[in-house]
A and B are shown apart, each in its own frame.
Chain A
Amino acid sequence: MDKFERMNCALEHREPDRVPTISCMDVQNYVYEALGEQVPKDITQYFGNRIVAKLVDVAAPLINKFGGLEKDFLNFFIKKVEADVKMGFDSVWDMYAEIFRLKDSGRMYDIFGRLYQIVYDDAGNLLTPAYMGGLFETPDDWKSWNKKQWEQHPEKMFKHNLEINKRFGKDIYIFGSHLYGLFEQTWQPFGFEKFVRLIRKEKSFIEDVIEYNKNWYLRCVDASADAGFPAIIYSDDMAFKNGPMLNPKMMDSLFGAAYKEITDHAHKKGRKIIIHTDGNTRLLLEYFIKWGFDGHHSIEPNADNVDIGEFRDIAGHRLSFLGHLDITHILSFGTREEVYEHVQDVSRKAGKGGGLILGPCNSHYEIKVQNLRWMIEACKEMTYPIQ
């Protein structure tokens, strides 16, 4: 089987020739080591210099105006897919994340109203900025936010996706994705506490925000499907290590109809759509199915109460499972034997009948390229029927 046959087979819950793989890696040290290249310098690497930092603090709006980070981000995401192809992954979660703007030398904000801390790995390479909070205090702040770049985003995403598909679409199975889903895009610009307060006190406003975000997200689905990507990952963290952030019933009543519209839209375009969320999602599995998702990515093995075998028992073959491999030890510090054993164990627990695509459950700078190579090798040896 080629990569596309293998992936389609797994996603349709038929047994492929072997367990397929997916990459969600989006850190610079992985990408450039996999490609055998030096991590290029970007402007953020000079922010440690006090004089540069002071200049950036003043000139941030100007830097943004001239697209300061845009080129670096877009180039990086092209390199990311190139690295995944070179590594030999069957599929890649391609994230379109050209959303960040400089606030000052220590912080970024995004075009949706979130504030981030600029963070680096041990080698000083820029990591995905860490969410700090929202820029909005009140509904009026959200309403008066300039949404020009927000509205332009799907079109820019489409153009980027076309480029990615032109370059790599024949080499690897690509899941298109916008970085954030409805839940995150609704609560994060306010912060969780304010968001919860708004649910209590101004629910109709929150419903309006969800409706706006849903209509906007449908265009992001188009941006992936129309560019030719065979499937979509809908990324929307809604759980933490103990369990869902919102009561699943509340989640369903607020977001369920919008999720269903998004999955229906993807299906009408002939695309499978996978939901990504970290955390303990046990109580959400039935809702994922109800909302029309075809699969679930992450299934974080170290979250409380997450056992992929039990998840398979709950969901059966109504959901495919993607990711799941441990990054806290196995893919970061584990031996070849540990990697092989982990792949075999997970495949035996959840791989029978297809519906399993393995990869790191998350991206992290401590994950080793060598361990990912062992993981890919181990999956190549995990042939069907699984013993």
Chain B
Amino acid sequence: MHEALQKAARAIVDFNSDACIEAVNQCLDSGIPAWEVVNEGLSVGMKEVGQLFEKGEYFLAELVMAGDVMKDVMKVLEGKFDKSQKGRKGKVILATIKGDVHDLGKNIVGMMLSASGFDVIDLGTDVDAEVIVDSVKKTGAGGVGLTMLLTTAVGSMKEVADALIEAGLRDKVKIAIGGASTSEKLAKDLGFDAYGDSAAKAASIFEKLLEIS
């Protein structure tokens, strides 16, 4: 790996925006394309942050901090991407379902997916099942990630499942759920494809669901 890519990855793990921007500029000056900077540098750093989170060495705040560094750096990279590479791993729709407005987990999932090369369509919070169905139709997304924190919103999860079946779209999308009041059992009961117990696993879950090597 190019030394500057390694530096960029390291700076993500260290939450150092200035060092990361410097390394990214070095990469660009060396002729490394923007998407390679993201895929071979920044996303390597984000992956390590995710692994440190899984090991219990990093916490929620560190995930957000790393995402914050990513945001700072993406401003530098804006406009430098070859559009054909955008979202090369596929489109994933994210939504905090109707009846719930807690979006911290969803935002971290979005950050991890974007950093891994997915095109993320974030529908926000308190999202109606119909809006999710419309979005699947319009975007042709292969994945849907649903989150909820409140147990009172469980009914809305079922509404999404039913609405996708009714629209004849269920076999066209893979659905993963996450959030404090979700579980492996709930995912199975509602016929969803995966349950994520941690936002840090989002990229690997959707890579598996969408069969991306």
Measured CB to CB, the residues of A under 8 A from B are: 117, 119, 121, 127, 130-133, 192-193, 196-197, 199-200, 240-248, 250, 283, 304, 328, 364, 366
Contact = CB atoms under 8 A, between A and B. Distances in A.
Nearest to B57: A247
B198 interface: yes
Given A132-B101, A193-B104, A244 B59 contact: yes
A89 to B, nearest CB: 24
7 contacts: A119-B99, A196-B68, A197-B64, A197-B68, A199-B65, A240-B60, A246-B61
Given A200-B15, A283-B56, A304-B197, A130 B150 contact: yes
Contacts, number: 65
A298 to B, nearest CB: 13
A197 B65 CA distance: 7
| Contact residues on B (Cβ < 8 Å of other chain), bracket | 20 to 34
B152 interface: yes
Nearest to A120: B152
Given A243-B59, A364-B151, A130 B68 contact: no
Contacts of A246: 59-61
B101 A117 contact: yes
A242 B150 contact: no
Interface of B: 15, 56, 58-62, 64-65, 67-68, 99-102, 104, 107, 125-126, 150-152, 180, 197-198
A364 B180 CA distance: 15
A200 B126 CA distance: 30
Given A242-B197, A245-B59, 18 more contacts: A117-B126, A121-B152, A130-B100, A130-B150, A192-B104, A193-B104, A193-B107, A196-B64, A199-B65, A200-B15, A243-B56, A244-B60, A245-B60, A246-B60, A246-B61, A247-B58, A247-B59, A283-B56
B155 to A, nearest CB: 10
A121 B99 CA distance: 11
